[in-house]
Amino acid sequence: MRYSLFSVLGQALRGQRDWTPQWRDAAPQEAYDVVIVGGGGHGLATAYYLAKEHGITRVAVLEKSHVGSGNVGRNTTIVRSNYGLPGNIPFYERSMKLWEGLEQDINYNAMVSQRGVLNLYHSDAQRDAYARRGNAMRLAGIDAELLDREGVRAMVPFIDFDNARFPVKGGLLQRRGGTVRHDAVAWGYARAASDRGVDIVQNCAVTGIRRENGRVTGVETSRGFIRAGKVALSVAGSSSLLAGMVDMRLPIESHVLQAFVSEGVKPLIDCVMTFGAGHFYVSQSDKGGLVFGGDIDGYNSYASRGNLHTIEDVMEGGMALWPGLGRLRLLRHWGGIMDMSMDGSPIIDRTDIGGLYLNAGWCYGGFKATPAAGFCFAHLIARDEPHADASAYRLDRFATGHLIDEKGMGAQPNLH
């Protein structure tokens, strides 16, 4: 059923009786043209764009748990395209443009809210670095504004301007950035892909990848062998484990990133705000909870939870920036497993194995990338050549030196 005000009103009168599952809970068939491993945002978006843009519908998305059980539902919901390096800029702007038309495209309200992303700066050097980034964005036709202290005060008057250890001097603002209701992205893509014929197979764990003569032939799963012309890995924190099945080692480590939500309160903050002198960023969900986060815990982990040291570090940043938060209560904190790459940027590429494609290394930029990652990965899978906007995301860039290191941290995943 198409979603609209009319269908909602109609069903209100009929006791909501006629709604059907938003996506088919498919049983795996024997063979597919493309098998996508991972039923998160990226995998589902890839399936959707394979069907929509390339007419490839003999596609299965295999998910070991349920749709959206990974990082797409564990992030802080921020979308933005305020990157500074040419390898990243067109890709994230593609993503932003897709976000802007997403709901009408997939007929699902993911609550794309372009409320602005404000990165604060606290020194002249930081201001100049943001100017450099903002100018790069402007060169690419992306909106960016450099605010002074008064410009920031007008947006977020409640932060500490007067008693701060690191006084706020201004900020870089991308008005088109904002937040998106994360779970709805997974559900919306799942529904739209399913409607176009894609099989979404839940509770189906991939246990092996079969090869013949240097080419993939299918995947072993907890629900049996599934033949596939092409296999596309889109499994974030589990990328190394899947790659290990075909003896590939990746320039990736899995790290835990914690996220936090406060109790719900009436509207407090209208934008996404990032502290520049500590690890803290915050926005407010439509339900009223402040959603915030900070740095990764900093050690390899596959456990979806972190430790007190990082929690305190994040809250200290919060209180330093916004001392009115003191009596607001932390409701819940959790962790996601990030596929931290060696230069902080992702990989969307072929592998040395014919028909095996890799989408990985998203660090904590994966959520905002969801539409473009799906769009570009689908292009790569369908055409066997990279999409222009993702052409820098090559696996061999570590050998050639074409790194995309926004923070200049080097081959140290936990510092990106």
Partner 1 sequence: MRIRCPHCGERDNGEFSYLGDAAPRRPDGMEASAQAMHDYVYLRDNPAGTLRELWYHAAGCRSWLVVTRDTRTHAIEAVEPARDVARARSSGEAA
Partner 2 sequence: MTTLALQRAEAPVSATSADQPFRTATGGLIDRNRPRDFSFDGRRLTGYHGDTLASALLANGVRLVGRSFKYHRPRGILSAGSEEPNALVELRSGARREPNTRATMAELYEGLEATSQNRWPSLALDALSVNALLSPIFAAGFYYKTFMWPAGLWEKLYEPMIRRAAGLGRAADAPDPDTYDHAHAHCDVLVIGGGPAGLAAALAAGRSGARVILVDEDFATGGRLLAERREIGGVSGAEWAARAVAELESLPEVRILTRTTLFGVYDHGAYGAVERVSDHLAVPAPHAPRQRLWRIVARRAVLAAGAIERPHVFGGNDRPGVMLAGAVRTYLNRYGVLPGRRLAVFTSSDDGWRTAADAIAAGGGLAAVIDTRTSVPPHLRRMAEAAGARVVTGGYVAGAKGHLGLSAIQVVDGYHSTETIACDGLAMANGWNPVVHLDSHLSRRPVWDEAIHAFVPGALPSGMQAAGAAAGRFTLAECLETGARAGAEAATACGFEASAEAVPQTDPESVAHTPLWRAPKPRGKAFVDFQNDVAASDVELAHREGFRAVELLKRYTTLGMATDQGKTSNLAGLSIMAELTGKDIPSVGTTVFRPPFTPVAIGAFAGHHRGKEFRATRHVPSHAWAEENGCVFVETGLWLRPAYFPKAGETDWLDTVVREVETVRTKVGICDVTTLGKIDIQGRDALAFIERVCANPFGTLPVGKARYAVLLREDGFVMDDGTVARLAETHYVMTASTANAARVMQHLEFCRQWLWPELDVQLASISEQWAQYAVAGPRARDTLRRIVDPGFDISNQAFPFLAAAEITVGGGIPARLFRISFSGELAYELAVPAAYGDAAWRALMQAGLPYGITAYGSEALSVMRIEKGHAAGAEINGQTTARDLGLGGMLAKKKDYIGRLMKERPALTDPDRPILAGFRPVDPSDRLRAGAHFLALDAEPSLEADEGVMTSVAYSPSLRSWIGIGLIRRGTERHGERVRAYDPVRGADIEVEICSPVFVDPKEEKLRV
SS (H, E, C) 277-301: CCCCEEEECCCCEEEEEEEEEEEEC
Query: φ, ψ for residue 255 (rounded to 5)?
Result: -130, 155
300 near partner 1 (CB under 8 A): yes
Nearer to partner 1, 47 or 348 (CB): 348
> In whole angstroms, how large is the CA radius of gyration of the chain?
21
Partners of 350 in the beta sheet?
A: 357
Token pair belonging to 274 = 């990032």
Interface region with partner 2, contact rule CB under 8 A, candidates 107-115, 223-231, 249-257, 374-382: 107-115
Number of amino acids touching partner 1 (CB under 8 A) = 27
CA distance 360 to 346: 6
CA distance 327 to 393: 44
CA distance 218 to 234: 15
Residue from the set 53, 128, 352, 384 that interacts with partner 2 by CB under 8 A: 128
Nearer to partner 2, 138 or 383 (CB): 138
Q: How far is CA 255 from CA 33, 64, 69, 337, in A?
A: 33, 20, 17, 5
398 near partner 1 (CB under 8 A): yes
For partner 1, what does the binding mask look like between residues 216 and 245, x meaning CB under 8 A? ----------------------x-xx--x-
Amino acid at 396: D
Cβ burial of 132 (10 Å; 0-12, 13-18, 19+) is: exposed
Residue from the set 33, 103, 195, 220 that interacts with partner 2 by CB under 8 A: 103
Interface region with partner 2, contact rule CB under 8 A, candidates 36-44, 50-58, 260-268, 366-374: 260-268
Residue from the set 252, 277, 315, 380 that interacts with partner 1 by CB under 8 A: 252
In whole angstroms, the minimum distance from the beta carbon of 168 to partner 1 comes to 26
Which does residue 244 touch among partner 1, partner 2, none (CB within 5 to 8 A, set by kind)?
Answer: partner 1
Nearer to partner 1, 338 or 381 (CB): 338
Measure the N-to-C terminal CA separation of the chain; round to a whole number of Å: 44
Which residues within the stretch 351-390 sit at the binding site for partner 2 (CB under 8 A)? none
298 near partner 1 (CB under 8 A): yes
247 near partner 1 (CB under 8 A): no
- Which residues make up the interface to partner 1 (CB under 8 A)? 238, 240-241, 244, 249-254, 298-303, 307-309, 313, 342, 398-399, 411-414
